[in-house]
Structure 1
């Protein structure tokens, strides 16, 4: 059985569990069908054969329902990943527009972006191949252009817009 590509990279275990259940149910259904056919050839139709047919039909129904649920789960997971990718792209555009509004230079944009990602001065200096003092000076210039006093306010400027709509579960205003 070939698993869908989204299954092996999934962070949640639900698709893997559903796939395993479908696989086990399919194997059991195949076994019961083969066994029922064998008994039908040997003994004809009897109460035990009817019971095996009933169990086989229940297993086949389980396989179908499990496969439907697996497909639904994978589709939902793909939709969520697409939504996250879209939101990430939109956030990147918001950040770039704000950098434009602040008239950040190319170097300042790079430093600002790394700061937003959570890198400290030493890490930014290493990534950029610059001295820590240079990075500190660039961060000061960025904070000045942004009208904030430090890293926390700088990051909060971007998070503030995301939270303006309220958090899930917040009571309506």
Structure 2
């Protein structure tokens, strides 16, 4: 919080410095200055304004570096989560004893593809895909795609990995 306050103050200083230089330019161009200030004071103001702009550039560079590091950490976390999700899927498929064809169909179901899309991708009939999805649901102990997907969502959210049909049987 304090860091953001500091950067906000630096931003305000940078805006004030840029406004000073713009005012100097416009007042010289349009002849708006009524009473001249001493040369020494004018130089001190210019040096301060230039330093303020330099501090703003440094703060911007620091924020950019921090932002890039945060982005890299987020991408790394996403990559790890994606790998963990893939491992979770493979573990469940092994647990359920899915055939290679059923694994493909189950993965496409989890990705949200329709029966027709799966049939097209696998170069098979929709009837075959329906039979395979029914076998997958039976082996997983679920009644449809939403429950199949919820098994994996629950596991990712550290919830119990149990199917509704298995809970009823217990």
Map of 1:58 onto structure 2: 52
What's the CA shift for 1:47? Answer: 2.1
Q: Find the structure with the greater CA-based Rg.
A: 2
TM value normalised by structure 2: 0.69
Map of 2:74 onto structure 1: 80
Map of 1:150 onto structure 2: 144
What's the CA shift for 1:103? Answer: 1.0
RMSD (Å), alpha carbons: 2.3
Distance 1:85 1:162 in 2: 14
Map of 1:47 onto structure 2: 41
Distance 1:161 1:131 in 2: 32
Counterpart pick for 1:138 among 132, 137, 142:
132
What's the CA shift for 1:164? Answer: 3.5
Q: What is the correspondence of 1:72-111 to structure 2 with a 5 Å cutoff? A: 72-111=66-105
What's the CA shift for 1:46? Answer: 2.5
Map of 1:71 onto structure 2: 65
Distance 1:164 1:102 in 2: 20
Distance 2:137 2:107 in 1: 13
Distance 2:91 2:42 in 1: 73
What's the CA shift for 1:105? Answer: 0.8
What's the CA shift for 1:78? Answer: 1.0
What's the CA shift for 1:127? Answer: 1.2
Q: Which runs of 5+ in 2 are unaligned?
A: 1-10, 22-38, 160-170
Residue correspondences, number:
128
TM value normalised by structure 1: 0.68
Q: Which runs of 4+ in 1 moved over 6 A?
A: none
